[in-house]
Structure 1
């Protein structure tokens, strides 16, 4: 079996100072990539900042014979996103892969969440992914190649308590993927999204130690490396991954029912009578664009 390699490629990993991001950085470097290790060095709630986390990972990679540089900019501003990618371009000349992994947590129930909490979480997870992706996309477009991996969450995809900002941002990341994948297709820029569960500072106080032991960050890296490789041809897909389990998830659309046309008024009673068909997911399928959803309207035209 041929080994997947990243020789002569440049990989940018945000939030790479610990946890899953650190595992990504080591895995890419171990297969020949030159890695930009981005980490603001703040605490889990987004406060503070320091260089130690990114510097430590860079030193570890270099001690293992790899090539890496650190970057300490926040992903949550256009200036920061551009600075991260500029660091890669000035040091290594290009960007081939971007892994949007940076994140913070401020879990609170809806009525206890402040505007500051909301803004910080959404800015890091969603705006941050946009800011870095936008800067990287320009270089990838010029080079005619790119692989972008975003990070969503099962909380956003399926629901959870007390994470309104986090969940909203993580679903927003899926929308961002749809846009990047659509616009990037003509330039050989692929974009996919993962929903990982792994032991990290984000989860170390919400799960028991015996569970965290089975959720090693290193178990997530193989999927990310495959999606980032030249061999991967898939784009605009969402994947679950945890403890060696991998599966695809998708936003699907069912055929539903056409109750009428422009020639007459549809009543709420008709909706009620058709509720079982409207809510059924039988024959539901993923769609590649909003235009694809128009196929279900053909009986009306």
Structure 2
């Protein structure tokens, strides 16, 4: 297992490189001087990545995981292929089956044909037998990836946090206008949120050849219930809101109504996901297939989340400060 770092002549194709996690990954890889090809549906919206690297180092190309030909073109001549693409809810042609399963299979087959190393980012809870469609298709995707590339590296993060995340920011925004935050299933579901920069560092190590093929589960140092995470949001944003327990059956009814929205805050499938804890398994800990096992010390939520949730306070970063006048 090589520990060398790709040089300036190496080409890394990153599917989904312009998204939340993608920005962390590009930032982690750019200093290695490898050429980064960002494969996205809208290359015109990937310009924000350019300042992260040298002139000409980062180049965006058009690719849609549902179109095998565009995937093959994006992978051409690549030494490493990284797939970060996933959807939290279905919308139009962006179904779980199309994106998670068919899309991942297209990327894996293209990587295999190119002879490129493959790093696939999945999710904790991925299981082809899961009752939740999201987790089930994530599990089916992993099977499709390993069928095409048996020595692929699969990374399963828990809920990812960091600036612009879709978790803490969503509930902080909700707390700004709503009188209560819902505790689905009583808020007892456990999570192990992981910092996006730590996931990116795991990807970086995999690209550098310092990670053996296999499946790794990535969680932060803190395990907390959904209720505890909502309390954290309220503490940081300095807001007082009611934490309202909502039974799973009632939450599913709410999700059935809300899922018609272009960006639904809740779907029935997400409610189903909340019935299962989202934490690193004992097997992964035992086998050292975790962040610490990769030599990465994960960041705590307390060290990162306040640095970006302050903007949801009534007076932003100045809340609680005394005037000098």
TM-score tier after normalising by the smaller chain length = 0.5 to 0.7
Contact kept in structure 2, 1:16 and 1:22, CA below 8 Å: yes
- The residue that corresponds to 1:203 in the other structure is 167
The higher relative CO (CA closer than 8 Å, separation ≥ 6) is in 2
- The residue that corresponds to 1:22 in the other structure is 23
- The residue that corresponds to 1:147 in the other structure is 117
Determine if the alignment matches structure 1 residue 100 to structure 2 residue 83. Answer: yes
Structure with larger Rg: 1
List gaps (5 residues or longer) in structure 1: 41-49, 87-93, 108-115, 141-145, 183-189, 252-301
What are the within-5 Å matches in structure 2 for residues 99-248 of structure 1?
99-106=82-89, 120-140=95-115, 146-157=116-127, 164-182=132-150, 190-196=151-157, 197-199=159-161, 201-204=165-168, 215-232=194-211, 234-235=212-213, 237-243=214-220
Q: 1:10 to 1:249 in 2, by over 3 A?
A: farther
State TM-score, norm by structure 1. Answer: 0.58
Contact kept in structure 1, 2:218 and 2:280, CA below 8 Å: yes
Q: 1:29 to 1:156 in 2, by over 3 A?
A: same
Aligned length: 205
Contact kept in structure 1, 2:122 and 2:142, CA below 8 Å: yes
Give the 3-state SS of the residue equivalent to 2:218 in structure 1: strand
Contact kept in structure 1, 2:109 and 2:149, CA below 8 Å: no
List gaps (5 residues or longer) in structure 2: 174-190, 223-278, 285-325
State TM-score, norm by structure 2. Answer: 0.54
Q: Provide the aligned C-alpha RMSD in A.
A: 3.5
Q: 1:85 to 1:20 in 2, by over 3 A?
A: same
Q: 1:56 to 1:118 in 2, by over 3 A?
A: closer
